[in-house]
A and B are shown apart, each in its own frame.
Chain A
């Protein structure tokens, strides 16, 4: 796309979410922090919290590791004999011009909105991952996006190619340095999942309290392919808006989207997901559990059934634990053919006091009973996760303490 058109798109508001002035942030590409070792201990703890392992744990539980600080890849490691390619998108573009033709900005249109345009105009940052046909990688790859300076604009363009019959699990941990008060993250992810291939993508967000986040993800799934997305965000986040979109293009392709969201006071989450079922036998399921402890949540979910013989199910459930804030659930089903099986369930409310009493009658204190119910509510059965990560998410949820005063 020519530069002029892209520059014009820099003013284009996004379909959803508050409009952000990109000029308010510093968009330097200068590498001010050159390695993870330069980060403070407090920041490294935050990395660990979002699932990024180091040392022996990394050696054991991760097949590869990518860390980007602001706009620079500072760590690109692949364990020996792991059949995957991992490099910065910039390097990949130089190395494989033919792939650029085929995959760069094909799933996501660069002039979609000002955020995509800004990223497309900047020097390429982010990761390129390719798993060749038939290679099944059982140990997850970890990718970390971290804003390490205050007021920084981080722009990321990721390209993931899982060729036919290949499998990969990615843990994407996103956070900001302990010292960072405000900043902005734009993350464009283009995912190409081949025939009978499988990608499980788990994203844990723990941005600083005043960071603004605009991910733009599109996944294309071919025949028999599976895309599983898990998203966890339980810390205060000033303003996150995302609407990842999955196109199930081949017969019997599957998409599963699970989201666990907690919005404390001061958070504004506009989170959604769309699956377009374009081929016979496709299945999609989107399950979102949302809690507001005073924050604002807009929970969009949309399924579009284009052909006969597809199945889609949507759940947008919310618990209000405060009189402040709101949860606005918008489930949408769009059946464009007969013989499509599409359903949704959306329930928003407070905790049923009978449930609390039931647990109290077994000897639990009121606070413990409430916390147990809240945790149970958030306990979406996340499929296909490696044990270590499932434990991590459980620990993350356990660390969420429900506080009556909220």
Chain B
């Protein structure tokens, strides 16, 4: 699905990421740990193709295609979807229109907004005066409509109260395990139209890359791989993402990275 080779990225002339390699196969969900300011958001921004992330070296492949030089909208249309940490307010553009722009029909927009508890926000300007949790739910609503094959989430649970983390997790699972509607008469079992929010996830070919500090999201979204990004370099951590999280909790990032493997005291 996604392959990153020897990627180095700078922001405003300063090198943030150095020689990053990452391979996410279809159906895999990877988690990215790392201290603040280490370049996790930069990696997600570079994969999405945001302008301020300057690729110094290396290549990004998506579905086998070299996307390193592609614009952000081309990447989105190829099937990459992103949730950024601080989305801007778009004044005068209703959330309803925005969700429709992302690809949902008016009926789907209504249904999904209800699932996300955002139906009262549909006629408000996108992100205008939204609280932390509302922003996350709003992003997920748009991503549901966009229905990407690769989901990039930058701290999906930050600012979300405990009760709503389950909802965030459910939404992420929904996106990972749903296919866009094939149009009139579509009978795919995992088509948006043919299932509710509470569906039983089928095996998915979709992938995700999730940045998390607390790891709360992992309770709801089963992740297959974990990485630690430390001082601009990627360490592939072995083992279960929850073990890696425990290891970081017990020993700290630096020790974990130096050890190169997880030793969790049970």
Contacts and interface: CB of A to CB of B under 8 A. Distances in A.
B103 interface: yes
B80 to A, nearest CB: 8
Interface stretch (B87-95, B228-236, B239-247): B87-95
A364 B72 CA distance: 9
Majority secondary structure of chain B interface residues (helix, strand, loop or mixed): mixed
Interface string A363-381: 1111001001101111110
B209 to A, nearest CB: 15
A97 B48 CA distance: 73
Nearest to B103: A363
Contacts, number: 63
B93 A363 contact: no
A377 B89 CA distance: 11
A400 interface: no
Contacts of B73: 360-361, 363-366, 369
B82 interface: yes
Interface in B150-177: none
A363 B76 CA distance: 5
How extensive is the interface on chain B, given as a class? 20 to 34
B55 to A, nearest CB: 16
B101 interface: yes
B91 A376 contact: yes
Contact of A363 (B77, B87, B91): B77
Contacts of B91: 376-377
A4 to B, nearest CB: 52
Interface in A323-373: 352-355, 357-366, 369, 372-373
Interface in B114-165: 125, 142, 146
- The listed residue with most B CB atoms (<10 A of its CB), out of A363, A372, A377, is A363
B187 interface: no
11 contacts: A358-B87, A358-B90, A362-B101, A362-B102, A363-B77, A365-B73, A372-B90, A373-B93, A376-B93, A378-B92, A380-B92
Nearest to A377: B92
A376 B90 contact: yes
Given A353-B51, A357-B51, A357-B72, A362 B92 contact: no
Contacts of A359: 90, 101
Interface string B83-110: 0100110111100001001110000000
B71 interface: yes
How extensive is the interface on chain A, given as a class? 20 to 34
B76 A361 contact: yes
A366 B76 CA distance: 12
Nearest to B143: A362
Contact of A376 (B51, B77, B92, B146): B92
Nearest to A352: B88
B108 to A, nearest CB: 15
B72 A361 contact: yes
A365 B142 CA distance: 17
- The listed residue with most A CB atoms (<10 A of its CB), out of B50, B51, B73, B142, is B73
A377 B50 CA distance: 23
A361 B90 contact: no
A358 B146 CA distance: 13
Contacts of B50: 357, 361
- The listed residue with most A CB atoms (<10 A of its CB), out of B92, B102, B125, is B92
A377 B125 CA distance: 10
B87 to A, nearest CB: 6
A362 B76 contact: yes
Contact of A372 (B93, B102, B142): B93
Contacts of B103: 363
Sort A-B residue pairs by CB-CB distance and give the 7 closest, nearest first.
Answer: A376-B92, A379-B92, A376-B93, A360-B73, A363-B76, A360-B72, A355-B88
